[in-house]
Amino acid sequence: MLIAGRGVAGLSLSSEVVAGGDVLVGFLDDVVQASDVLGTLADVAAVCEREDVGVVYFAIPSAPGEVVREFVTQVHRSGVELAIVPRTYRIVSRDRVSVSDLTDVDILDLVGRAPVKHDMVHAGDTIRGRRVMVTGAAGSIGSRIVAQLSMLEPELIVCVDRSESGMFRLGNSLRDTSNTRLEIGDVQSEERMSQLMAGYRPDFLFHVAAYKHVPLMQHNPIEAFNNNVWGTWNVFSRAAEHGVGNVVYVSTDKAVNPTNVMGATKRLGELLLRDLAAVSPSTRFSGVRFGNVLESEGSVMQTFRQQLQQGVNLTVTDPEITRYFMTIDEAAQLVIQTATAGRPGDLFVLDMGEPIRVFDLARGLIDAVDPSLDVDIIGLRPGEKMYEELSHASSSVDSTTHPKIFIVSDSYAREPGETSRWAAELLDRTRRYDLAPDELIEALRSFGFDALQ
């Protein structure tokens, strides 16, 4: 076996594997010079052939993503097995890295992007001693926002979700905190939202609750519209009514030029935010758009993990499909950071680098975990786009005090309040289930979502 990296991780790993009976031929390192260093990382193919190496361990947890990817490619071409020590660095004393060892940061390495670190000091000054409410708190993103908020010493965090089992799990994760309250509630209920906001009087509200799975919402457009449009409007309206100081809306890159119902409903949420911001001087509304959040429920990475654990080929809908990726911690911190940034009605995006081919992510995971697997191309799903965008072509993107956070200024063709009036007329029918799914799709197209499938 051969170890790339003769630093602390590589030396510790060498002790583990030698103790397990493996034969170590030496190290590769671009910096360290020693008698057992057989070459640089670029020499891996030649050294493997000369020394008849069967397994290569990559043990440089601090290596940039492009270095990791180039090394993986070289080893893959040589036909030698490869195991990667995760960036979080735990000794791997077995033949291969387990998929459970790979963290979000390691996965960003595979796609060539360093995680964005947010300075939470200012956010802590803002949140400390204040009352905060989070809708959709039991979901993957909502629960991480709650966890991040709990470290900022708020007076109280009110966690709202309609999932009983999800709230039970959230409660278990918050056992050591005394300043959280778990409240079962549906964002579509006017009475329940009013009751919670009147009772707790939050200073900040993070609206995360939404239906987000594209194929499911494409099949259930009325439910998507009621939950994502009415639920959002209801939360916004009740917040303004009860004097909530700051409201942050979590949107998605699928809201830009939407081709599916879910994306259209989230875009409508952005437009409703603009309408409410114009007439609610006592409540500051803002929004934030995400790319794909690694490890969120139903994400492509979650699917890949399950497939790797089952030992089956990874599935990708199209070899050229691309997506932006961010970690769940990046998402949670971005939401909190934008609570007081910019002006009322602003929409924020995170600089997530270049979009990544999902096929390349799948291939990198296979190379790191189980090279015997392959990638199966299964075809695009209804409403799925080949690529996502973080802003419209006509939008301006302006900098903020944070180098990785930007304000998107969309050019709106509609008058303030027009979206609210249009949505109210449609919701009057969808909430009574007096509208067929095809009629809703046609109404959305007529509103301006021309690409909707």
Contact 104, 295 (CB under 8 A): yes
Cα–Cα distances in angstroms (integers) from residue 282 to residues 239, 246, 266, 344, in the given order = 10, 9, 24, 10
| 287 SS3 class | strand
364 and 293 co-located in one domain: yes
Q: Is residue 321 part of a domain?
A: yes
- Global pTM reads 0.79
* pLDDT tens track, the chain, 453 positions: 999 999 888 888 888 778 778 899 999 999 888 999 999 999 999 999 999 998 898 888 778 777 887 888 888 788 788 777 765 443 333 344 455 555 555 666 666 666 666 667 778 899 999 999 999 999 999 999 999 999 999 999 999 999 999 999 999 999 888 999 999 999 999 999 999 999 999 999 999 999 999 999 999 999 999 999 999 999 999 999 999 999 999 999 899 999 999 999 999 999 999 999 999 999 999 999 987 887 677 788 889 988 988 999 999 999 999 988 888 888 888 889 888 787 888 999 877 777 888 998 888 788 767 878 999 999 998 888 898 877 776 566 777 777 778 888 876 667 889 999 999 999 999 999 999 999 999 999 999 999 998
Q: Classify residue 233: in a domain, yes or no.
A: yes
Domain check: are 42 and 154 in the same one?
no
Residue 198 and residue 64 share a domain: no
The residue among 97, 112, 133 that closes a domain is 97
What own/partner pairs with CB < 8 Å and gap ≥ 24 does 406-411 have? 406/348, 406/349, 406/350, 406/351, 407/342, 407/346, 407/347, 407/348, 408/289, 408/347, 408/348, 408/349, 410/347
Domains in the chain: how many in total?
A: 2
Q: What tokens appear for 38 in the block? A: 């057989």
Q: How far apart are CA 155 and CA 140, in angstroms?
A: 23
CATH of residue 345's domain is: 3.40.50.720
Q: Which two tokens stand for residue 443?
A: 């109404």
Three-state SS letters, 35-97: CCEEECHHHHHHHHHHHCCCEEEECCCCCCHHHHHHHHHHHHHHCCEEEECCCCCCCCCCCCC
Q: Look up the domain containing 234 and give its range.
A: 121-409
Q: Is 178 exposed, middle or buried (0-12, 13-18, 19+ CB in 10 A)?
A: exposed
pLDDT of residue 385: 86
Residue 382 lies inside a defined structural domain of this protein? yes
Residue 288 resides in a domain: yes
DSSP state of 227: I
Active site (catalytic) residues:
254
Question: What pLDDT is recorded for position 96?
Answer: 44
Contact 66, 112 (CB under 8 A): yes
Give the pLDDT of residue 104.
57
| pLDDT at 94 (0 to 100) | 36
Q: Are residues 50 and 147 in the same domain?
A: no
In a domain, 440, yes or no: no
Which amino acid belongs to residue 442?
E
Residue 151 lies in a domain: yes
Instruction: Name the DSSP letter for residue 242.
Output: T
Q: Are residues 304 and 349 in the same domain?
A: yes
Domain membership of residue 306 (yes or no) is yes
**In this structure, what token pair is assigned to residue 207?**
């609206």
Single out the residue in 97, 130, 163 at which a domain terminates: 97
- Note the pLDDT of residue 350: 76
Listed residues 97, 130, 158: the one ending a domain = 97
Task: Give the pLDDT confidence score for residue 109 in this predicted structure.
Answer: 64
φ, ψ for residue 427 (rounded to 5)? -65, -30
CA nearest 200: which of 259, 150, 160?
160
Whether residues 168 and 313 share a domain: the answer is yes
Q: Say yes or no: 131 and 18 in one domain.
A: no
Residue 439 placed within a domain: no
